[in-house]
Structure 1
């Protein structure tokens, strides 16, 4: 073997080592590509996760990406880079960004009661709803239940499917998709649109500027062609579209949980968010600022360690910096992300089954070391 060949081998070895060493956790500690590959493979096997779209962000760039597994456990069709997943409640963070763009454009004020833009007949019998603002909705202090058809209600006051308030708006924290539904209708009204015609505006004002090639809140041919199959209890689950209302279908702009995307595109958004791209400095500060502190009995504190909520995002202090995060659960699709603004590290994952929350917890623990 000549000197040139030996030198080439040494350089390739050094390059490979350098590539692995560049992967970092949320805290900034090193983790190798091989270890992360092995971890994901073992987790998918032990948890029975069919498909996964995952991306790791280091210093504001995607340094590791995997689209692996199968779209459907019965057909064995492979997941690929074009595969589309339901983002579930990760939708809320991207929608919050969209809302704050409306504030920057002076179409909406964070603290103006929403009824002044659009009265809401669904809750009109409770005058307290007139206190609700966009800030309250995005910080989950509106008083609305998560969903009117599934949350416990006072049966002596409200019929099944009737919207209600759990408390006076602005006084407590209660996670709510209903608030996002109302706010989406307000945004549509302010732009002379409807819940069915709102997504093109989102594409124009958010997707196109941020170069999100695959991120939609309403159904289209791209989703139909590339969407993976959701799974429950290890089997494909027949659900046409994530819905929270009996009359809802894929034409609705579903702000709370209808986003369809994958890890590379959502990472692009997260990087833009950490960079403060597309929003005024004031709106970025509002998004990441503590809007409400969480009670220590809150499931978000007990399960995730979140101590506060910003606008569309949860806040978790750690010894190596503040982590901003959100999880998603549509049942047969579960997801999660975490970002560290201090070092611009983070990750996002999308899974097509009911074990994605456990995977998110386990990956979060690994990448928090």
Structure 2
């Protein structure tokens, strides 16, 4: 059954949104959220959202709206999976150990521990805590069922990597002889005053866990949460108040020496002209003349966000239990953070700068994935609006109209008035037609392009129908190479056997209970399905023979399917 929040219940939750505060006079920002958030989460199909505002180095107020699970109201005691918001908390462990002289941030981690997969690779000696905390290890985000390997030399560029954090966790556990949970309790949780957080599942959370919901607001199975173990990059559970106390502790300096605290907030790039800015455990954004620490978290049924501004001694935490959780976040940030709109514009500009660095098949794959997600689509549209539309020759009224049309377009993807094809065609308007061989995003809109964009947004994408909707290009692959890929491959997560054959010069895959699907070549080794945002990369072993397929979902999650004879 579809999950929804009835208007009457939404109104009641607006009144009941103030939990745990004795102040009769509500803070203006909190009162504004009480008026708007219940309707926002109803429209976005997000069951629950929890907010903590940090001011003057302390938790000023919290709000919790909606239901933690169907029929059960979310409260101050509701525990959320915070996903990648685990990373800043784990990073504080490493930084605190450095402050105590127990860890050198620039030490060779191989002196503590080496993953067997890279034991013969000399690049392992370049791995340091600093490199890991700033996402420069060269590892992919997750290895899945495959081997850990370097995609590039450590320090050569940034590439977001949970594997890098897990590598550091294992090294710290070997170096100290203590498990992560014990280290975190002593160095982070206790000093920050956190009593309602855990790394991995804790039986205390039975009956308090916020159930994740998909984009259709259908509840997801909670059994997986109970199997979670301590992980440096994910698997932290916390209440919004407890995570708010962590942010308050951070903006007050976390008990660190002044120079180390400043180092944590500095860009750590070991390479020139980085398109992403990472400090130690945090994403960085320069706004209003000061460095902002922030992070977000995404998993199926989970969206989370944290903002920390040490210079202002303030911050914000937003936790949710829905895959559409990012949709109401923008309005919450604008309402709860002084000049939140300006901060968001700065983030939009940074996002566009990163997207401009992606080109060719990788960009086309990224846009294809974005066009299927209302949350990702909204983020892309805001970035494009800031970078292309607001500086275009459109008159101010039309520029405002273009910005105002973004939310209805994204919400239309939820109710079916905007299709994935509509979104794909709108994405195609962003592509520079001059870059056919190595497609890239536009650097500017002229007036005609800006008007086409506005018309497409207002019309649910139909005005963009004339645009090229083919976001991914294909290449020719000789049939002799295709025949090397023919065979059977076993997917370990569900024991699914995929059979691949060559038919009329095309690669065709079949699996039990599914129709034949064509694999379209993006390169001689990488293929994609037009039916979903899934790629298949053929992997060769040391003998040069095809040993398996790396299956890649949504551009980041992957699993290795070995070839079986």
Q: TM > 0.5 between the two?
A: yes
The residue aligned with 1:208 is 190
The 3-state SS of whatever aligns with 2:254 is: coil
Whether contact under 8 Å (1:71, 1:78) holds in the other structure is: yes
RMSD: 2.5
Matched, 1:47 2:44: yes
Matched, 1:235 2:232: no
Distance in 2, Cα, partners of 1:209 & 1:17: 27
The residue aligned with 2:299 is 330
Number of aligned pairs? Answer: 316
Partner residue of 1:38 out of 26, 31, 35: 35
The residue aligned with 1:221 is 203
Greater percentage in strand: 2
Distance in 1, Cα, partners of 2:34 & 2:102: 46
**Aligned residue runs from structure 1 range 344-355, under 5 A:** 344-355=313-324
The 3-state SS of whatever aligns with 1:136 is: helix
Tell me the CA shift for residue 135 of structure 1: 0.2
Whether contact under 8 Å (1:137, 1:179) holds in the other structure is: yes
Tell me the TM-score normalised to structure 1 length: 0.79
The 3-state SS of whatever aligns with 1:179 is: helix
| Larger relative contact order (CA 8 Å, sep ≥ 6) | 1
**Post-superposition CA distance 1:126-164 (Å, at most 9, x none):** 321221100000000111111112xxxxxxxxxx51111
The residue aligned with 2:170 is 185
Partner residue of 2:117 out of 95, 116, 122: 122
Change in Cα spacing, 1:81 to 1:18, as seen in structure 2 (3 Å) is closer
Whether contact under 8 Å (2:155, 2:270) holds in the other structure is: no
Whether contact under 8 Å (2:251, 2:314) holds in the other structure is: no
Tell me the CA shift for residue 295 of structure 1: 9.3
Distance in 2, Cα, partners of 1:92 & 1:122: 23
Distance in 1, Cα, partners of 2:99 & 2:314: 27
Residue segments in structure 1 that go unaligned for 5+ positions in a row: 1-15, 24-30, 150-159, 244-248, 299-306
The residue aligned with 2:79 is 84
Residue segments in structure 2 that go unaligned for 5+ positions in a row: 1-21, 342-565
Tell me the CA shift for residue 226 of structure 1: 1.9
**Aligned residue runs from structure 1 range 1-369, under 5 A:** 19-20=25-26, 23=27, 31-73=28-70, 76-149=71-144, 161-193=146-178, 197-233=179-215, 234-241=217-224, 249-250=227-228, 252-292=229-269, 308-319=277-288, 321-366=290-335, 367=337, 368-369=340-341
Tell me the CA shift for residue 59 of structure 1: 2.1
Whether contact under 8 Å (1:242, 1:257) holds in the other structure is: no
State which drifts further: 32-41 or 334-343: 32-41
Distance in 1, Cα, partners of 2:186 & 2:163: 25
The residue aligned with 1:12 is none
Change in Cα spacing, 1:323 to 1:200, as seen in structure 2 (3 Å) is same
**Post-superposition CA distance 1:287-335 (Å, at most 9, x none):** 111112999995xxxxxxxx51100101111236332100001221110
Distance in 1, Cα, partners of 2:333 & 2:164: 28
Distance in 1, Cα, partners of 2:172 & 2:23: 50
**Post-superposition CA distance 1:142-187 (Å, at most 9, x none):** 11111112xxxxxxxxxx5111111100110000000111111111
The 3-state SS of whatever aligns with 2:211 is: coil
Tell me the CA shift for residue 343 of structure 1: 1.7
State which drifts further: 111-120 or 202-211: 202-211
